[in-house]
Amino acid sequence: MIRWFCPEVLLVLTGVTLILADALIPPGKKEWLPRLSILLGIALFIFTIWQSGQPMPEVWANLFVTDGLSLVFKPFFVLCLVGVTLISVRYPMGREEVVRTEFLALPFFSTAGLCLLASARDFLAIFVALELVAISLYLLAAFHRSRAASLEAGMKLLVMGGLSTGFLVMGIAWLYATAGSTEFSRIILEQAGRPASPALLFAVGLILTGLAFKIAAVPFHAWAPDVYEGAPTPITAFLAIASKAAGFVLLLRIFCLGAFALDSVGWVFRPILLTMGIATVTLGTLAALPQRNLKRYLAYSGIAHAGYMLLALGTWGESGMGTVAGYLWAYLLATFPVFIFVQELERVHGNADMRHLDGLAQRDPGPALGLTLCFLSMAGLPPLLGFSAKLSVFTALWSAGEIPGLVVGVIMAVVGLGFYLVPIRAMYWEREPDVVPAQRFPSFLVWILLLAGAAQLILGFQPRPLVRLVEKSLAPMVSGNLQGK
Partner 1 sequence: MIAYAPYLILLLPLLAAVSIRLFLYPFPRISVSVSTLACLGSFMGSMALLFWGSSLGQGIVPALPWIEWGGFRANFGILGDPLARGMAALVSGVAFLVHLYSIGYLEKDPCRSRFFAELSLFVFSMLGIVLADNLISMFIFWELVGLSSYLLIGFWVERPAAGAAANKAFLVNRIGDFGFILGILGAWALFGSVTFADLPGRAAASSPGWAVTAVGLGLFCGCLGKSAQFPLHVWLPDSMEGPTPVSSLLHAATMVVAGVYMLVRVLPILEMSQATMMTIAWIGGWMTLLPALLACQQNDIKRILAYSTLSEIAYMVMAVGLGVAGPAMYHLTTHAFFKCLLFLAAGSVIHGCHDEQDIWKMGGLGKRMPFTAFVTILGTLALCGIPPLSGFWSKDAIFAATAHHPGLAAVSMGAGFFTSFFMLRMILVAFGGEPKNDAARHAHEGSIFLTAPMALLAVLTLVGGLLPVESYLHFQHPEAHETWTLWISLLVALAGFVPAYFLYRQATKDPISIPVLREKFYVDEIYQRVFVSPQDAFARLTDAFEGWVVRGFLVRGSGVVARASGQGLRLVQCGQVQIYAAVFILGVFLLLGWLWRQG
Partner 2 sequence: MNFGEVTLGHYLALSLLLFLIGLAGVILRRSLLVVMMSLELLLNAANLALVAVGKFHGLPDPQVAVFFVITVAAAEVALGLAILVAIFRIKRTTAVDQMASLRF
Binding site for partner 1 (CB under 8 A): 155-156, 159-160, 163-164, 167, 196-198, 201-202, 205-206, 208-209, 212-213, 218-220, 222-223, 225-226, 268, 272, 286-287, 289-290, 318-319, 322-323, 326, 365, 369, 381-383, 387-388, 391-392, 394-396, 398-399, 410, 414-415, 417-418, 429, 461-464, 467
Choices 18-26, 87-95, 131-139, 472-480 (CB under 8 A): range interacting with partner 2? 131-139
Q: Is 300 in the site for partner 2 (CB under 8 A)?
A: no
Per CB under 8 A, the list member of 145, 347, 363, 472 interacting with partner 2 is 145
Choices 140-148, 262-270, 387-395, 419-427 (CB under 8 A): range interacting with partner 2? 140-148
DSSP β-bridge partners for residue 199: none
At closest approach, how far in Å is the CB of 234 from partner 2? Answer: 18
Nearest Cα neighbor of 153 from 34, 299, 281 is: 299
How do the residues of the chain divide into helix, strand and coil, expressed in percent and rounded to 5? 80, 0, 20
Q: Is 32 in the site for partner 2 (CB under 8 A)?
A: no
Q: Is 282 helix (H, G, I), strand (E, B) or coil?
A: helix
DSSP 391-454: HHHHHHHHHHT-HHHHHHHHHHHHHHHHHHHHHHHHHHHSPPPSS--S----HHHHHHHHHHHH
DSSP β-bridge partners for residue 120: 64
Cβ-based burial of 54 (10 A; exposed 0-12, middle 13-18, buried ≥19): exposed
Cβ-based burial of 362 (10 A; exposed 0-12, middle 13-18, buried ≥19): middle
Q: Is 346 in the site for partner 2 (CB under 8 A)?
A: no
- The contacts of residue 198 (CB under 8 Å, 6+ apart) are none
Choices 78-86, 137-145, 309-317, 404-412 (CB under 8 A): range interacting with partner 2? 137-145
Of 196 and 299, nearer to partner 2 (C-beta) is 299
Name the strand (E) or helix (H) holding 93: none
Residue 208 touches which of partner 2, partner 1, none (Cβ within 5-8 Å per kind) = partner 1
Q: Is 135 in the site for partner 2 (CB under 8 A)?
A: yes
Residue 59 touches which of partner 1, partner 2, none (Cβ within 5-8 Å per kind) = none
Q: Around 173, how many Cα atoms within 13 Å sit in the side-chain half-sphere?
A: 6
Of 79 and 312, nearer to partner 1 (C-beta) is 312
At closest approach, how far in Å is the CB of 252 from partner 1? Answer: 16
At closest approach, how far in Å is the CB of 221 from partner 1? Answer: 9
Residue 149 touches which of partner 2, partner 1, none (Cβ within 5-8 Å per kind) = partner 2
With the CA atoms of 239, 71, 397 and 404 taken in that order, what torsion angle do they form, in degrees rounded to the nearest 10?
-30
Nearest Cα neighbor of 303 from 411, 424, 210, 213 is: 213
Q: Is 192 helix (H, G, I), strand (E, B) or coil?
A: coil
At closest approach, how far in Å is the CB of 311 from partner 1? Answer: 14
Residue 467 touches which of partner 2, partner 1, none (Cβ within 5-8 Å per kind) = partner 1
Q: Is 289 in the site for partner 2 (CB under 8 A)?
A: no
Of 316 and 394, nearer to partner 1 (C-beta) is 394
Q: Is 162 in the site for partner 2 (CB under 8 A)?
A: yes
Of 176 and 398, nearer to partner 2 (C-beta) is 176
Choices 225-233, 312-320, 366-374, 463-471 (CB under 8 A): range interacting with partner 2? 225-233
Cβ-based burial of 364 (10 A; exposed 0-12, middle 13-18, buried ≥19): middle
Give long-range contacts, CB 8 A cutoff, 24+ apart: 301-304: 301/335, 301/378, 301/419, 301/420, 302/216, 302/224, 302/228, 302/240, 302/244, 302/331, 302/335, 303/216, 303/217, 303/218, 303/221, 303/224, 304/280, 304/412, 304/416
At closest approach, how far in Å is the CB of 268 from partner 1? Answer: 5
Q: Is 159 in the site for partner 2 (CB under 8 A)?
A: yes
Q: Is 131 in the site for partner 2 (CB under 8 A)?
A: yes
Separation between Cα atoms, residue 265 and residue 305, nearest integer Å: 25
Residue 5 is which amino acid? F
Of 319 and 351, nearer to partner 1 (C-beta) is 319
- The contacts of residue 34 (CB under 8 Å, 6+ apart) are 88, 89, 100, 104
Q: What is the CA radius of gyration of the chain?
A: 22
At closest approach, how far in Å is the CB of 160 from partner 1? Answer: 6
Of 42 and 128, nearer to partner 2 (C-beta) is 128
Of 188 and 376, nearer to partner 2 (C-beta) is 188
Positions that interact with partner 2 (CB under 8 A): 124, 127-128, 131, 135, 138-139, 142, 145-146, 148-149, 151-156, 158-159, 162-163, 165-167, 169-170, 172-174, 176-177, 180-182, 225-227, 229-230, 290, 296
